[in-house]
Chain A
Amino acid sequence: MNTKKTLFDKVWDSHVVQHIENGPDVLFIDRHLVHEVTSPVAFLGLKTRGIKVMHPEKTFATADHNTPTINQHLPVEDPLSANQLRMLEENSNEFGISYWGLGHEKNGIVHVVGPEYGITQPGATIVCGDSHTSTHGAFGAIAFGIGTSEVEMVLATQCIMQTKPKSMRINVEGSLNRGVTPKDVALYIISQLTTSGATGYFVEYAGQVFRDMTMEGRMTVCNLSIEMGARGGMIAPDEKTFEYVKGREFTPTGAAWDKAMAYWETLPTEEGAEFDKEITFNAADIEPMITYGTNPGMGIGISNGIPQADAVEGGVATYKKSLQYMNFSEGDSMMGKPIDFVFLGSCTNGRIEDFRLFTSLVKGRQKAPNVTAWLVPGSHKVEKAIKDEGLLAILNDAGFELREPGCSACLAMNDDKVPAGKYAVSTSNRNFEGRQGPGSRTLLASPLVAAAAAVTGKVTDPRELMTEMVAG
């Protein structure tokens, strides 16, 4: 039997409180992130049972999904949203959980603020009632999204019952081409695997591309693990990880830091460890990506045409329904298609590096008059950096404005909705029917592709505009 362990095995096995024969493992959770949409019924359950939150000090709440991105200093207008936000505040107070609500300096998207404040750490188990919890896997943590019954479970007992998933390693070797970003790498992988290709697996990303990637890029990739069906994806912690984590508010210090480091350095997958499935891609094959359909697996290199129905995996009827919704045809080129909206933001691409990349391309140009652009930072910390680094001035000169932090048009729970029939180039994570508003049509892409669309008003290869800039 192979005794070499993977990163995933090490973290999982060290958190198993109990293994149930022919059943799930009872897994101890180190960090529980909570937001307003998926928690009220869980807190209600605790109250009905008359029990407390077992570890309020391991539980962190922020408001992000259902918040406005303008005039956050004013009362929230929508009564249902206001009520949901008030419930989270009241529940946090009642159960002794730290709450970073609207207007709080630490407020932001739950998966952006977790890493920013050092709540996210290597070797930890992290859950949240949100499927993009996989983001935190960038630090070598096991992080995955859960349902509300499971939120209640973790609040009540700090444990979750889960069957151990199978393991998959995805290697991307070589160096990325010019204009190709972490988002493109993830969209490429999903286009190759399909949206169910990694269902039942936990992914480890390995190879030169991920070693070379910044922490923020790794977060973007791990964030999108769920879009290939995986519960989560992780990357072995290295010097970049430790450098990022060090000195943040919730990061251990002194002797505790030394102890943590000693543990974190033991985490990477051992040479010779086996995975249930292993796939290798070549970085040279990846170009800037864009999606054309209604799931994140329907993506192509931006210079390619929309595939024929008989060339794709899955049913022809479902494929045609998808293209009909988008009002696209098989064989169409994506380049030059007119667009109406651009959304820069979300837990996928709402970090400072994403804003730097977007700004680098729109600098000295002007927003196309036919485009409505929503630039939404992932957190107040990101918002502050955009101002401090001088990006805001450049964006304003180019005709763009900055909104306040939140999930915004990624899921359009607030007023940031793309109207029916309109096209949005979006740096978010899902292009499902109606995701950005009833009838909206979403083209998922990187911040660079979004920037190119924003200044040209149509789908444009960002490499055509990058003659004088360094690749992202």
Chain B
Amino acid sequence: MAYDKFNTLKSSAVPLPIENVDTDQIIPARFLKATERKGFGDNLFRDWRYNGDGTEKKDFVLNNPTYSGKILVGGKNFGSGSSREHAAWAVYDYGFRCVVSSFFADIFRNNCLNIGVLPVQVSADFLDKILKAIEADPNATFEVSLPEQTITIESSGESESFDINAYKKANLLNGFDDIDYLLNIQKEIKEFASDRPL
């Protein structure tokens, strides 16, 4: 389904400086039983966020009112493991519009792009700078510009550019999705399919 447009986002950020955050942590399998795409934010990072009895784990960042914002900053190899798009849905439903890491797992990155959450891959050095900026001031703000393909630490003005392919960029800027595109080339697909052996 088509999604929100993404252009420029200015926000504070929530730091989660852990490596190899897998999609089982982002949303455990037992919460994948829904048949509609809603409510997943409630169980985002469920087992890091809550004790077995449902009480909050005070030391987890999402339970710390000091940190808030629409940007989630994760460690290297963010989103590895299961292909569950529910992980991206949970990130979105909680209120994040952008995830920053020094390295993303492929499927999670695609899933984010397909629902309008922008994955921003930065260098390990710049990730460190972002985390230090949040450490110095939890209300530190960042500007993510999709048109410019840059992320800027507003307090210092330091900026780094990020990659995104031109097709996906246009989709995000306009709120289009891949199915819109594919339905427009149906004739070509049908011709291609007509002489497939399988």
Interface residues of A (CB under 8 A from B): 17-18, 20-24, 26, 28, 30-31, 37-38, 40-41, 44-45, 48-49, 51, 54-55, 58, 65-66, 78, 80-81, 83-84, 87, 121, 124, 129-131, 145-150, 152-153, 156-159, 161-163, 165, 195-196, 199-200, 226, 229, 231, 256, 259-260, 263, 295, 314-315, 317-318, 321, 411-413, 420, 430, 432-435, 438-439
Flag if B107 contacts A131 (CB, 8 Å): yes
Stretch of B5-13, B139-147, B186-194 that contacts chain A: B186-194
- In the complex with contacts A147-B110, A196-B80, A321-B18, A41-B36 CB distance below 8 A: yes
Interface CB pairs A-B, < 8 A, 21: A17-B185, A26-B185, A26-B189, A30-B196, A40-B34, A44-B35, A54-B189, A87-B35, A145-B83, A146-B107, A147-B111, A156-B183, A157-B179, A157-B183, A161-B167, A231-B107, A260-B197, A315-B19, A411-B29, A432-B25, A435-B24
Flag if A432 contacts B81 (CB, 8 Å): yes
| Per-residue interface assignment for chain B, residues 158 to 181, with 1 indicating a CB less than 8 Å from any chain A CB and 0 otherwise | 000000011110000000011101
A-B contacts at CB below 8 angstroms, number: 198
Complex CA distance for A433 and B20, rounded to whole angstroms: 11
Flag if B165 contacts A23 (CB, 8 Å): yes
User: Which residues of B sit under 8 angstroms from A17, Cβ to Cβ?
Assistant: 185, 188-189, 192
Q: How large is the interface on B (under 10, 10 to 19, 20 to 34, 35 or more residues)?
A: 35 or more
Flag if A413 contacts B83 (CB, 8 Å): no
Flag if B105 contacts A48 (CB, 8 Å): no
- The closest CB in chain B to the CB of A230 belongs to B106
Flag if A26 contacts B81 (CB, 8 Å): no
Interface residues in B42-84 by Cβ distance below 8 A to A read 47, 52, 75-77, 80-84
**CB of B1 closer than 8 Å to a CB of A:** yes
Complex CA distance for A48 and B198, rounded to whole angstroms: 30
- In the complex with contacts A55-B193, A159-B189, A153-B178 CB distance below 8 A: yes
Flag if B24 contacts A430 (CB, 8 Å): yes
- In the complex with contacts A196-B103, A433-B47, A146-B83 CB distance below 8 A: yes
User: Which residues of A sit under 8 angstroms from B168, Cβ to Cβ?
Assistant: 23-24
Flag if B25 contacts A153 (CB, 8 Å): no
CB < 8 Å neighbour of A41 from B29, B37, B105, B188: B37
Nearest chain A CB to B159 CB, angstrom units: 23
**CB of B95 closer than 8 Å to a CB of A:** no
Flag if A196 contacts B88 (CB, 8 Å): no
Complex CA distance for A218 and B162, rounded to whole angstroms: 38
CB < 8 Å neighbour of A18 from B75, B76, B85, B188: B188
Complex CA distance for A432 and B80, rounded to whole angstroms: 10
Complex CA distance for A87 and B33, rounded to whole angstroms: 11
List 9 extra interface pairs beyond A26-B185, A147-B107, A165-B106, CB under 8 A.
A22-B166, A146-B107, A149-B85, A149-B177, A153-B179, A295-B22, A434-B25, A434-B28, A438-B47
- In the complex with contacts A24-B165, A196-B76, A229-B105 CB distance below 8 A: yes
Flag if B20 contacts A295 (CB, 8 Å): yes
Complex CA distance for A81 and B75, rounded to whole angstroms: 33
- In the complex with contacts A22-B166, A80-B33, A434-B47, A31-B198 CB distance below 8 A: yes
Flag if A23 contacts B80 (CB, 8 Å): no
